[in-house]
Amino acid sequence: MNGYLIALIVFLAWIGMVYVLNRIKWFEKHSMALQGPFIMWKTERGKKLIDRLASRRRLWEVYGKLSLWICAGAMAIIMTLLLWEATIVTQVDRAPSPELILGIPGINPVIPVGYGILGLVIAIIVHEFAHGILTRVGDMKVRTLGLVFLVFPVGAFVEPDEEALKNTTRSKRSKVFAAGPASNIVIAMIVLGLFSGVMMSSLEPGVEGALARGVVEGSPAEMAGIAPSSVIISVNDVPVQSAEDFNSPVYTAPGATIDISYAYKGENKDATVVDGIVVSFVAEGFGAYNAGIRAGMVMVSLNGTPLAKVDMIAEVLSDWEAGQTIPCVVMSYNDALDGFAVNSSIAQITLSDKWEYYDEYNPSKNDDSYHGKAFLGGGFLYLGIEAVDVSYYSSTLASPFEGDRNLDDFSRSWLRLIALPFLDLAPIRSPVTDLYTPSGYLEWMPDSVFWLLANSLYWIFWLNLMVGLTNVLPAVPLDGGYIFRDGISYLLDKSGRKYTKEQKDRITGSIAISLALVVLFLILWQLVGPAF
């Protein structure tokens, strides 16, 4: 049965149960309340725990001030990200589905239900307890604590005395609001350290070779069954120990068939493929595309030179200029022969201008020296396999910021780390998990337990970070909205002009509402912008 259908049936059953229990006043008898389909169970248990935790007042005072700085930095980052996304959203072919905006396990298709529930529950408990502790540090009462249920527990809450919170000093109130999202961000950083520095750094490859990070669709390798995350062990009985070995083959016979030995999902396999340089992509309107060359075809030769390595293409083109025509031999899949054969309809290529290609597709890397230089207008890979060292995934996750030289590199590393669920790398599962085994201080741990723990840590990191960043958005009723509103009030007091309380409330309220509408627009723009 479809997973979404099961989720719908469970949800409808939950709604029916809630309706019946509400009719017989069961919730009133058990200190529960309803908020739509959510059941809120309130209790005073846990207040003593919060009081004990809040007894280290000096520590929490310092933490409260630090929380304000963390939230200010996070607010600047998330607003910058939203504004940047607004400038590029019209370049996106398809808008994200609305459920992707919601970080709810079971609704958001990216978030796995089990890991998602674990991460979200921890994130909400951390968030609410931080609010409660700073409430008590500020000498305000905590009225109740509780859990929120939607089929299963989806969070927790700490309910402060709203009147006391409203009438306390601006400093105390801001620290209460800041403590929640700041704690989520702090926990996210700690858990990320455990995930990367402890779990991922303990991994070692289980097999030696070159990892196929990607395989060109329609290429000889893909059609022979070589899938992404396969490890190339040998080419025509010549051992392959690294990506460099694979990309600089000793044995080459472009157009002939060669034997590949590889490992996939813990099994050793063999395949026979056509040797040569495979087209990974072509740009419409440029030389290769205009000649009829498409992704998956094999470039056997240019100007009579057999292409044994990718860099030989540049060597051949160095003697030619844009606009000239060069002979070539290309192989493509032939349905009648059920295999690859020379495509007689493609015998030459009119070369494009390298500068024009970079001007359209990669202007930041363009150079005046490219004017007039011959260019095919495509990408190429040996055998159609994007090869990297086997340690690629483990080393990238163990040291996600290694090699970053500037803010742009650091930002890209962060986006890559956060985007793992969209790259089908979170949760990490087979065939990627088949590539590695725990070593060193975690060698004793069974693989199944290791990956369960590693994936749990990643999702605790991910959801704490998302909850923290979402809540620092300067939009009431989010924590960031209240922090921003108190910040405006502070600036008005420091402006040197005297305002009455009513004037300050009106000004701060107007600015806060205006910014909240801007934030709402930026979020909705991601859904509707691609249509323009």
**Cα 359 from chain centroid?**
29
C-beta of residue 119 within 8 angstroms of C-beta of residue 464: yes
> Which segment of 40-54, 267-281, 287-301, 357-371 scores lowest on mean pLDDT?
40-54
**Into which CATH architecture does domain 210-274 fall?**
Roll (2.30)
Class of domain 277-382: mainly beta
Q: Where are the beta strands (DSSP E) in 174-324?
A: 203-205, 210-215, 231-235, 238-239, 257-264, 267-274, 277-282, 298-302, 305-306
- Per-residue pLDDT averaged across 436-465, rounded? 94
Mean pLDDT computed over every residue of the chain: 87
The helix (run of H) or strand (run of E) holding residue 381 is strand 378-382
Q: pLDDT at residue 107 above 80?
A: no
221-268 tens-digit pLDDT: 999 999 999 999 999 889 999 999 998 887 778 989 999 999 999 899
- Per-residue pLDDT averaged across 436-461, rounded? 94
H-helix segments, 89-169: 98-101, 113-137, 162-167
- Per-residue pLDDT averaged across 493-508, rounded? 80
> Which segment of 17-31, 63-77, 88-102, 466-480 scores lowest on mean pLDDT?
88-102
C-beta of residue 408 within 8 angstroms of C-beta of residue 431: no
C-beta of residue 304 within 8 angstroms of C-beta of residue 327: yes
Which three-class secondary structure string do you get for 421-457? HHHCCCCCCCCCHHHEEECHHHCCCCHHHHHHHHHHH
Peptide bond into 427 cis (omega under 30): yes
Residue 301 has a CB neighbour count (10 Å cut-off) of 19
Output b/e per residue, 1-24; b: 16+ Cβ within 10 A.
eeeeeeeeeeeeebeeebeebeee
CA pair distance 521, 434, nearest whole angstrom: 44
From residue 498, give the alpha-carbon distance in Å to each of 11, 170, 282.
55, 17, 66
Domain layout of the chain by residue ranges? 1-30, 31-198+458-470, 210-274, 277-382
Rounded to two decimals, what is the model's pTM? 0.83
Residue 98 confidence (pLDDT)? 59
Which three-class secondary structure string do you get for 494-511? HCCCCCCHHHHHHHHHHH
At 271, the pLDDT band (50, 70, 90 cuts) reads very high
At 112, the pLDDT band (50, 70, 90 cuts) reads confident
Residue 154 confidence (pLDDT)? 60
473-485 tens-digit pLDDT: 888 778 888 898 8
C-beta of residue 432 within 8 angstroms of C-beta of residue 393: yes
At 517, the pLDDT band (50, 70, 90 cuts) reads confident
210-274 and 277-382 agree in CATH topology: yes
Residue 93 confidence (pLDDT)? 65
C-beta of residue 88 within 8 angstroms of C-beta of residue 510: no
SS3 helix, strand, coil % of the chain, rounded to 5?
50, 20, 30
CA pair distance 291, 288, nearest whole angstrom: 5
CA pair distance 276, 382, nearest whole angstrom: 6
- Per-residue pLDDT averaged across 422-428, rounded? 87
Residue 85 confidence (pLDDT)? 80
Residue 57, φ and ψ in degrees, nearest 5: -60, -45
- Per-residue pLDDT averaged across 389-411, rounded? 89
The helix (run of H) or strand (run of E) holding residue 82 is helix 57-88
- Per-residue pLDDT averaged across 354-375, rounded? 90
Burial bucket for residue 240 (CB in 10 Å: 0-12, 13-18, 19+): buried
Q: What angle do CA 38, 44, 46 make, to 5 degrees?
A: 100
At 468, the pLDDT band (50, 70, 90 cuts) reads very high
Residue 167 confidence (pLDDT)? 85
- Per-residue pLDDT averaged across 514-527, rounded? 82
Residue of 157, 173, 185 lying closest to 75 (CA atoms): 185
Alpha-carbon torsion angle 451, 457, 460, 465, nearest 10: -120
